[in-house]
Amino acid sequence: MSGFKRDWSGNAKRRDGPKQVPKQVVRNAYTPMFEGLRNELDEHHDRRERIVKASRDITALSKKIIFSLQRVRKIESQLPANIQAEIDSRLAEISKLLATIAPEIQGINRYRYSRSLMCLEELAEALTFAHYLRTQSLISHAELDPIIEELARKGAVSEDEVMADASDTAGNVEKSAPPTTEPPTVSLTQDDYLYGVFDLTGEMMRFATTSTALSGTMAGGRGGEGGDDEPRTIVQDMHELGTLFEMLPVGAGNRFQWGKKLEVTRQSVVKVERLGYDRIIRGSERPKGWIPDLSSGDQGQGDELE
């Protein structure tokens, strides 16, 4: 909040002081009805504002998780400890934010504010990416949903502990206060999941590029246990993901967005293909540590920043 305005004698003026004066309203037969409607609309606007604020923070934190994950160099069941620690602390923050908005988006309000909840798409992207780096597979909606619900629940619990010593009274605290009932959680819609996975392809493309350039090998599974099978690489995984989206029927709700995302996915698949080809044909010639120009890969990602 910015500074105060001061009056002639140097006393701070109330910020909202002059605002109340100009609203002089002629009262008539319909005024009470409109006042009632105003209160309803205000409630809606205030709630949306709170959601938008939290959503923006969650988006930023999710992006930071993704950046941390991009520092991983290979696919293995355990992320490097320092990166895991970074992610955990970000997730703890996200957890708290989710808990604060959870009561606002229950029941009918879940879809009412789904446009203000774009953060869940971003969070889904981060979590699917983390899951891929650990297991080299795509997590399903049914598996991801409980993880996010658990995040919201954990946030609510730690919130309660904080409230025990600081008796804070905010409007939305009261709603989440009763400890006996199950705290409300945040659910992931099908669209949140799908668009998160769309964006996952972009992250996989970046990961494939940097890890290949730095390690000189194509990221993938370890050599099969005892089998002669070549381990599956990220090139195949990208192909599978690309095929998944090509085969899915286009969601009727937002064909436009779907088309745009699909186009970006196709480009990412082609980029990784090219990487695989390069690796085979001249992988041995390339000096270790050489990184291809990634700037073109930023297209399409850039316009998601609100």
Partner 1 sequence: MAPPMIDPALFDELKTKIEEDTNVRKELDQILDDLNQQVSFTQGVLSRIHSTPRSKYSTLLNQIEGGIQKQIETVSKLSAFASQFPYYKYNHKWTRMVQDAVATVIICAWLGGMSTDSKPGEVGRLLTPEDIGRAFNVPVNLKDRDAFHITIEEYLLGLITVIDDLSRLAVNSVTLGDNSMAVQISGFIKDLHAGFQVLNLKNDILRKRVDSIKYAVKKVEDVVYDLSLRNLIPAQEPQ
Chain positions contacting partner 1, by CB under 8 A:
25-31, 33-35, 37-38, 40-42, 45, 107-112, 114, 135-138, 140-142, 190, 194, 221, 224-225, 227, 229, 231-232, 236-237, 240-241, 244, 247-253
Beta carbon of residue 58, minimum distance to partner 1 (angstroms, whole number) = 20
Query: Minimum distance from CB of 49 to partner 1 (Å)?
Result: 9
Q: Which is nearer to partner 1, 94 or 200 (CB)?
A: 200
Q: Would you say 54 or 94 has its CB closer to partner 1?
A: 54
Q: For the chain, how are helix, strand and coil distributed in percent, rounded to 5?
A: 65, 0, 35
Q: Residue 286: is it exposed, middle or buried by C-beta count within 10 angstroms (0-12/13-18/19+)?
A: middle
Tell me the Ramachandran region of residue 195: left when phi exceeds 0, alpha when psi lies from -120 to 50, beta otherwise: alpha
To partner 1, the closest distance from the beta carbon of 22 in angstroms equals: 11
CB-nearer residue toward partner 1: 35 or 298:
35
Minimum CB distance to partner 1, residue 130 (Å): 15
Instruction: Please answer whether residues 55 and 117 qualify as being in contact, where contact means their C-beta atoms are separated by less than 8 angstroms.
Output: yes
Give the span between the Cα atoms of 121 and 81, in whole angstroms. Answer: 26
In the complex with partner 1, the residue whose CB is nearer, 82 or 137, is 137
Closest CB to partner 1 among residues 63, 134: 134
Cβ-based neighbour number of residue 113 at 10 Å: 18
Smallest distance, Å, CB 171 to partner 1? Answer: 16
Across-strand partners of 233? 220
Query: C-alpha angle with apex 50: 181 to 90, nearest 5 degrees?
Result: 75
CB of 79 to partner 1, least distance (A): 16
Strand partners, 229: none
Rounded-to-integer distance, Cα 145 and Cα 142, Å: 6
Among residues 18 and 224, whose Cβ is nearest to partner 1?
224
